[in-house]
A and B are shown apart, each in its own frame.
Chain A
Amino acid sequence: GENVEQHPSTLSVQEGDSAVIKCTYSDSASNYFPWYKQELGKRPQLIIDIRSNVGEKKDQRIAVTLNKTAKHFSLHITETQPEDSAVYFCAATYLGSNTGKLIFGQGTTLQVKP
């Protein structure tokens, strides 16, 4: 079955710097890769996703890149702000299964220092 590895487990950056979180997946059939942000005491919320037919997707200060050959995908946050502090989860799945079951990474705790 699918396995998703995420690192680093913790990341501390200065406000204004960039942050990068990396994930690798094992199942070459996986074709959908969402990222979730979980603020303290809140639910995980989808912030960006990418399908395997594109290599990069951007939404304002966040972007996700995908390397299908290497089975890597990454989240990039530019010009970080204190409100970006949260736990970030990557995930992978095969959309053809139609169940929506996601395999999550272990999570990265991002701290943005003002």
Chain B
Amino acid sequence: DAGVIQSPRHEVTEMGQEVTLRCKPISGHNSLFWYRQTMMRGLELLIYFNNNVPIDDSGMPEDRFSAKMPNASFSTLKIQPSEPRDSAVYFCASSNGRKLFFGSGTQLSVL
């Protein structure tokens, strides 16, 4: 298995633009998680899905953030409009109910 696959690896955009981050979980995993990592806040859980259903989105910072999981093999995290304070590394992770595996992350820079 190729592991959790995220794209793009790096994204540089201007304030106000829409940003879409993509994730393909490990096949057979029933849970998918979106994390944001910054120096100040560490690893923050934004939202997670179980069997494609959003279970807890209490970590989503604002209405500018939205996430979808239309099927078991794909999820997106969208920021619209983006702001400089959204600059961070965004990790997707998937789990089989026990072990959690992270993707390589998307380094987002909002100028």
Question: How many residues belonging to A are interface residues under a CB distance threshold of 8 Å?
Answer: 19
A99→B50 contact, CB < 8 A: yes
B99→A43 contact, CB < 8 A: no
A49 and B99 CA atoms in complex are apart in Å by 9
B98→A104 contact, CB < 8 A: no
Residues of B within 8 A of A98 (CB): 30, 50, 97
Question: Distance in Å from the Cβ of A105 to the closest Cβ of chain B?
Answer: 9
Contacts A43-B103, A43-B104, A100-B31 given; does A95 touch B98 at CB 8 Å? yes
B105→A43 contact, CB < 8 A: yes
Question: Distance in Å from the Cβ of A15 to the closest Cβ of chain B?
Answer: 26
In the complex, the number of residue pairs spanning A and B with C-beta atoms less than 8 Å apart equals: 55
Q: How large is the interface on B (under 10, 10 to 19, 20 to 34, 35 or more residues)?
A: 20 to 34
Residues of B within 8 A of A45 (CB): 102
Question: Distance in Å from the Cβ of B44 to the closest Cβ of chain A?
Answer: 9
Considering only residues 26-69 of chain A, those with a C-beta below 8 Å from chain B are 32, 34, 42-46, 49
Listed from nearest, the 8 A-B pairs whose CB atoms lie closest are: A100-B95, A43-B102, A98-B97, A100-B31, A99-B50, A100-B97, A99-B31, A44-B102
**A-binding residues in B (CB < 8 A):** 29-31, 33, 42-43, 45, 48, 50, 55-56, 91, 95-105
- Additional A-B contact list (18), CB under 8 Å, known A98-B30, A99-B55, A104-B43: A32-B98, A43-B103, A44-B91, A45-B102, A46-B99, A49-B99, A95-B98, A99-B97, A100-B30, A100-B31, A100-B96, A100-B97, A100-B98, A100-B99, A101-B31, A101-B45, A101-B48, A107-B42
